[in-house]
A and B are shown apart, each in its own frame.
Chain A
Amino acid sequence: MFKRSQRLEAPANVTDKITQLNDAKLTENGLSPTGETGRVLLLACGALAREILALIEINSWSHMDLTCLPAIYHNHPERIAPAIAEAVAKHRGSYEQIFVVYADCGTGGALAKTCKDLGVEMIPGPHCYSFFEGNDRFAKIAEEEFTAFYLTDFLVRQFDAFVIKPMGLDRHPELKDMYFGNYEKLVYQAQTEDPTLTAKAQDCAERLGLAFERRFTGYGDLETALKPLKARN
């Protein structure tokens, strides 16, 4: 009974956690687990924190806890697999199961190998753009859409931190064509209905000199991948 009442309270805690999230901290520092309620630890990219917590709240997945690596590893994929290995070693003793909420994410198979060696599962697919769109659908459209530059809700909010500053476009706007000259459009994959974010995404497209397209994806295969993770009694 005690466990059950704990589960029913969890969504309210999740709501608090979502409210307290800070995108800049998710980018640079990631997110610590609560260490209290979960028996399944989701070890995720910081860029997915809001979406995962939203799914936990919507589905009352109170058996799940979340910790995130710094989202900026998106720009440094070589750091992902070693950081995952370190985090799994750190948290393994505290949880019954750890699920890695990353796709390949530019690691060139290194993350899949690390996960296999550690005996933990991860999300299938090449990257979050793919699993938000749905891996099967993305694979089909990617053949025709390779001149698209993708942004998710998180990347729209953190556009300067992930695109403008690391590429030096704040200091050297003349480099824009060297980076984006071969792209044709910016596709904003919207996880939520948020007119403010859509306007910001459109502004991002204008700054890069690209056509703009908004595509609502919702949570796509992210939800499908997390759903089977059951609490083990």
Chain B
Amino acid sequence: MSEEEDIILSELDDEELVQQMFDDLYDGLKEEIEEAVNILLERGWAPYNILTDALVGGMTIVGADFRDGILFVPEVLLAANAMKGGMAILKPLLAETGAPRMGSMVIGTVKGDIHDIGKNLVSMMMEGAGFEVVDIGINNPVENYLEALEEHKPDILGMSALLTTTMPYMKVVIDTMVESGVREDYIVLVGGAPLNEEFGKAIGADGYCRDAAVAVEMAKDYVARKHNQMNA
């Protein structure tokens, strides 16, 4: 029997348990994460604190190691899947307990593109950071984006593309927003493997996010600036 198999989560104190959750997220152990989330809830932890201290804290380590080339896509997906398990427990409780709300975002993959791994990671990390996220899925023509903006009035529009052949469509969406006179109403963030900062600027986006962690930080920053401007 290995040392890991001997660990009984309910016997760990809070600090040890959170550390163990970091390890379990890193190893993509969904059931263990779900069990640990339930233990912390039973101990009276606020859902928002479990989310930020344990789940987001653990995924931040995963994200950093992915960026540094220590972890690769399969490991990140397993970790994300584990976090998703924990979030499924917490999500209904967050609204009930009045968790702080950072802002809102509509996010979708552009027309002709069915890739959603990056988009889903961003959605999850944004939710983890306290954003309300409306995910409109894959293969979105410009009409879908505009309808979702009109309906949900988010702070941020997020667009994702994995292909060099589909990423130019982001400009179509932004140009249409300009023509419709709504471009300035939203913060537009873009991301996807073949994109770069230069491309983001060229198409008129507010920011290019090279990964989910950057997306969250940029979103927080832009939303704070937007609120400051509105209050000025």
State which of A77, A142, A179, A182 has its C-beta within 8 Å of the C-beta of B165.
Answer: A142
The CA of A227 and the CA of B167, in the complex, are separated in Å by 32
Most buried by A among B139, B165, B193, B195: B165
Question: Is residue B9 within 8 Å, beta carbon to beta carbon, of the partner chain?
Answer: no
Q: Chain B's interface: helix, strand, loop or mixed, by majority?
A: loop
User: B75–A168 contact, CB under 8 A?
Assistant: yes
For B194, the closest partner residue in chain A by CB is A108
User: A146–B114 contact, CB under 8 A?
Assistant: yes
User: B167–A108 contact, CB under 8 A?
Assistant: yes
A169 partner residues in chain B, CB cutoff 8 A: 74
A77 partner residues in chain B, CB cutoff 8 A: 194
The CA of A184 and the CA of B165, in the complex, are separated in Å by 19
Which residues of A pack against B, CB within 8 Å?
A: 77, 104, 106-109, 126, 142-143, 146-147, 166-169, 171-172, 175, 178-179, 182-183
Given contacts A168-B72, A175-B77, contact A109 B114 (CB under 8 A): no
Q: Chain A's interface: helix, strand, loop or mixed, by majority?
A: loop
User: B165–A168 contact, CB under 8 A?
Assistant: no
For A183, the closest partner residue in chain B by CB is B114
B166 partner residues in chain A, CB cutoff 8 A: 146
The CA of A30 and the CA of B166, in the complex, are separated in Å by 29
Most buried by B among A106, A169, A183: A106
User: B73–A106 contact, CB under 8 A?
Assistant: no
For A125, the closest partner residue in chain B by CB is B165
Q: How far is the CB of A184 from chain B (nearest CB, A)?
A: 9
B115 partner residues in chain A, CB cutoff 8 A: 182
Which residues of B pack against A, CB within 8 Å?
A: 28, 72-75, 77-78, 81, 112-117, 138-139, 163-167, 193-196, 199
State which of A147, A172, A183 has its C-beta within 8 Å of the C-beta of B78.
Answer: A172
Given contacts A106-B194, A108-B167, A142-B165, contact A182 B114 (CB under 8 A): yes
The CA of A220 and the CA of B73, in the complex, are separated in Å by 33
User: B78–A175 contact, CB under 8 A?
Assistant: yes
User: A108–B164 contact, CB under 8 A?
Assistant: yes
For B113, the closest partner residue in chain A by CB is A146
The CA of A178 and the CA of B164, in the complex, are separated in Å by 21
A109 partner residues in chain B, CB cutoff 8 A: 164
Q: How far is the CB of B29 from chain A (nearest CB, A)?
A: 12
The CA of A77 and the CA of B196, in the complex, are separated in Å by 13
User: A178–B112 contact, CB under 8 A?
Assistant: no
B138 partner residues in chain A, CB cutoff 8 A: 182
User: A147–B114 contact, CB under 8 A?
Assistant: yes
Most buried by A among B116, B164, B195, B196: B164
Given contacts A146-B112, A147-B114, A182-B115, contact A104 B164 (CB under 8 A): yes
A168 partner residues in chain B, CB cutoff 8 A: 72-75, 77-78
Given contacts A108-B195, A108-B199, contact A167 B165 (CB under 8 A): no
The CA of A172 and the CA of B76, in the complex, are separated in Å by 12
Given contacts A142-B112, A179-B117, contact A106 B74 (CB under 8 A): no
For B111, the closest partner residue in chain A by CB is A146
For A165, the closest partner residue in chain B by CB is B74
